[in-house]
Homo-oligomer: A and B are copies of this chain.
């Protein structure tokens, strides 16, 4: 009997406290709101229970899952590749915009708007198969380094968001990327960086053409997965309204509105970049990740705003 009691006591001692699924989130209302929502929709005794097939969560990429300053990383890739191609064949620099871009003059490219951007992307993002493009993106990620942190670009992913993705998947959510960035670009690293397979990544896309067994990238853009394009893309690719959506800029407003205006339990999460020391601080002004309407209307709509400086105990993965 004494042995039995000892054994029972040991068993009790050995029962671990449930592991914290979000260790890099501080014990704030933000974390509590996320945990409460997920518990409610996954508890089959809860009135808010949602069947696993409908547990769709969508995430913006730039500024939500990885950093986006000083400019979108994909643009840095485009300029690096343009410069490399121009070194081999200077004749490809056939316009002022391309010459500026190859010289790293982002301001001139930005001033030229969408047409200037398309001109740059036509050189760096078309005229090859999708596979060849993605091999090239992966090769670039191996050697390119961020201008201020010196880190690999694909190491500048947010540890708290990796934990959130993982936690949601453990609770039978599908985690999708819905990005204004290029779909082929993101798919090149999303599986390794986020554990998100290509079929759960949507993004801005150019035309492609099937030729003799391969899908080739052509110049141009025929779907912009930003603003009202996000719900349109979600309908086109997923065909269901998400119950959870996360973004960081007004480009994500329509996605959060679409998500949270459905019936039943819904969750909208906006990452507010408030941490100049560990990451970057920006919101209402600038050329990247502008967040006005989300800050103004989000709280009244029940959306949760992540205050990066206070809600996250760690920014980058170890």
Q: Which of the segments A71-79, A82-90, A197-205, A268-276 contacts the partner chain?
A: A197-205
* Stretch touching chain B among A10-18, A150-158, A227-235: A227-235
Which A residues from 149 to 191 make CB contacts under 8 A with B?
A: 174, 183-184, 187
A239 cross-chain contacts in B, Cβ below 8 A: 130, 183-184, 187, 197-199, 201
Identify which of B174, B205, B229 contacts A236 (C-beta below 8 A): B205
Q: Does A147 contact B (CB under 8 A)?
A: no
Give the Cβ gap from A229 to chain B, nearest Cβ, in Å: 8
Is A210 interfacial (CB 8 A cutoff)? yes
- The smallest C-beta distance from A198 to any residue of chain B, in angstroms, reads 3
> A119 contacts which chain B residues (CB < 8 A)?
none
A36 within 8 A of B: no
Interface size on A, residues (CB 8 A): 33
The answer to whether the Cβ of A49 comes within 8 Å of any Cβ in the partner chain is: no
Q: Contact at B261–A235, with CB atoms within 8 Å?
A: no
Let me know if B199 and A238 touch, CB within 8 A: yes
A183 to B258 Cα, complex, angstroms: 20
Q: How far is the CA of A130 from the CA of B130 in the complex (A)?
A: 31
21 contacts between A and B (CB under 8 A): A53-B197, A56-B199, A174-B199, A184-B239, A187-B239, A198-B238, A199-B237, A199-B239, A199-B240, A209-B228, A210-B228, A210-B229, A210-B230, A210-B231, A210-B232, A210-B254, A210-B258, A213-B257, A215-B235, A215-B258, A237-B237
**Could you tell me which A residues sit within 8 Å of B by CB distance?**
53, 56, 130, 174, 183-184, 187, 197-199, 201, 205, 208-210, 213, 215, 228-232, 235-240, 254, 257-258, 261-262
